Amino acid sequence: MATQFTHSFMSTPEARAGDVLRLEGVSRTFDGVRRVIDGFSLLVPPGARIGLLGENGAGKSTLLRIAAGADAPDAGTVAVPRRRGLRSAGLLAQEVRAPRHWSLRDLLEDALGEYRALERDLEAAALDLAEGGDAAADRYAALLQEAETGGLWSIDARRDAVLSGLGLEGIPLERRIDEVSGGQRSRFALAALLLGRPVALMLDEPTNHLDDEAVAFLRGELRAWNGPVLFASHDRAFLDEVATGLVDIDPHRDGAQRYGGRADAGMYTAYLEHKAAEYRRWVDRYNAEQQELARLREESGAAEVNIHRERVMKDRNKMAFGMRGDRAQQSNAARRLALERRIAELEALSLSRPVEPLRFAGIPTGSTPLEGGPLLEARDVRVDGRLRLAALDLEADARLLITGANGAGKSTLLSLLAGDFAPDAGTVQRRKGLRIALLEQDVRWPDPSRSPRDLYGRAVGEARAAALPLAELGLIHARDEDRPVGALSVGQQRRVALALIIARPPHLFLLDEPTNHLSLSLATELEDALGTYPGAVVVASHDRWLRRRWSGRTLHLEPHG
């Protein structure tokens, strides 16, 4: 269903100004040089849930911290809604910043501090009632009303429900924060934020470390949230299910791009449809401009030929020729000058060449044909404590999605198929001449001081690098091609690893959580490219968006002790 995209999220005109999260002219610069956010403005009314989009490093986390008051902008203002008895803004950062010596209970009780303070005030007011007096009675009545409105009597039950919804109910609350895994710390931080019930929520990658059931619980919580919600997420399914508006904060000629106008699910799907239509218009307009430029250049060339032709005396009447030639030359010269001016104008105003979507360059010809029969056969495989697999055959055009909970052995299976190690039992047979490449979650470089350009040239060869330059793949920005690969972000390093594979696609392409650390646009392009990949593809992923769109086989793994 098509969506009308607008440039405003103020879909509730009756909302009071104090209920709105307001950022006006916000700018932030790091190291005194690198401008991350420049003059950003946004209004988020109560009940609106705005998703931030942008490439890695575009400033989404910085913007969330500024909106929550954790960081101050270099310029601009931030106004957060305030209500009696509630914190004004709460931030879920990607890293938990609570003291390591705290217990999990300390983390939760800190979030419930205002509720516990209200309990103590009520107890004190009840004691004051014994002494009588209208003032004591009025104070007790006011506190009682505040307790009922804020849900004080059910706060412990809500704590248990939140912990259960996020899959944390079995973890002893007396354990220290530094004694649990990073994923568990993140989920407890999310539980504390939801229990504290701030008016406005700022969430940075809230579905990291959540399984499908926990994501469903969080989705219900946010849909019922009364205040403004601003969040950044690489979870495309979550964006589709939760967001009522989207903001692309990557630099644009007209500033940040806002997309709204739809309150139900499907906002990210509508955004993709809008971007696809926008790209088609870009291509059509670019092609029309190039055709017009070609026509004008052809006419200019013809006018130049005519000028030279008129310079040749066609008979012996030098005087007549001179008069006719001058007039013809002047006419052709004027026409050519007008054409050149028009060409210059069109070139100055013409669109840049549309960026080609991610694609694979084709499997290189090997000395041994690989058609006919499976590329790989695995039988009765066991990796102690990590994986059990009865049988698996992969044909030359296989499309296989591996799913399963954390610890089920998805990464182990991919590494086994890649030949990184041998199983403790069973066999893995690979065709002679089979080329396999694995895009790992954590890329490791033997020499992190080498640049992407150097790595690319060494991996594909000088001839291939010249025929298909690294820059043309659209994965690495020109400014990063000569930086040490170890100095790049995790996402940029995965892009380099992906570029090395794309330039010479293997017969069997293995991808471990391919959408992790990639921008939303690149993740979508990669999935589309895999659909037309000329070899076999095996993907291990928990990404719900990818899983929903997958049309090949699926192998679900169960954890093994």
Coil, helix or strand for 103?
strand
- The span from the CA of 33 to the CA of 36, in Å, is 9
End-to-end CA distance of the chain: 46
Question: Which of 81-95, 255-269, 321-335, 540-554 has the least mean pLDDT?
Answer: 321-335
Q: pLDDT at position 429, please? A: 95
- pLDDT digits 0-9 by tens, 491-530: 889 889 999 988 888 999 999 999 888 888 889 989 988 8
Query: Does 13 have pLDDT greater than 90?
Result: no
Q: What is the pLDDT of residues 294-320, one digit of tens each?
A: 999 888 888 777 766 655 545 455 555
Higher pLDDT, 8 or 386: 386
Average pLDDT, the chain: 85
DSSP E strands: which ranges in 80-170? Answer: 89-92
Q: Which two tokens stand for residue 180?
A: 């649990």
Q: Which of 40, 58, 78 is nearest to 202 (CA)?
A: 78
Q: What is the pLDDT of residues 323-343, one digit of tens each?
A: 555 666 677 788 888 888 989
Neighbours of 384 (CB within 10 A): 11
Q: What is the pLDDT of residues 171-202, one digit of tens each?
A: 999 999 988 888 899 999 999 999 988 989 99
C-alpha dist (Å) from residue 376 to 54, 254, 420, 465, 538: 39, 52, 15, 30, 12
Give dist(CA 154, CA 112) in Å, integer: 12
Single-letter amino acid code for the residue at 340: E
Counted residue by residue, the chain has a size of 561
Angstrom distance (rounded) from CA 362 to CA 74: 49
Find the range with the poorest average confidence among 29-38, 54-63, 215-224.
29-38
For residue 143, what are its two tokens? 């506190």
**Rounded mean pLDDT, 72-92:** 83
- pLDDT over 60 at 366, yes or no: no
123 burial (CB, 10 Å; 0-12 / 13-18 / 19+) is exposed
Q: Alpha-carbon distance 214 to 204, whole Å?
A: 16
Helix (H, G, I), strand (E, B) or coil at 458: helix
For residues 159 and 111, the answer to whether their CB atoms sit within 8 Å is: no
- Residue carrying the six token digits 């000088």: 462
522: nearest Cα among 510, 530, 534: 530
By the 10 Å C-beta count (0-12 exposed, 13-18 middle, 19+ buried), 474 is classed as: middle
pLDDT given at position 84:
59
List 392's β-bridge partners, or say none: 378
- Sheet hosting strand 425-430, strand order edge to edge: 387-394, 376-383, 425-430
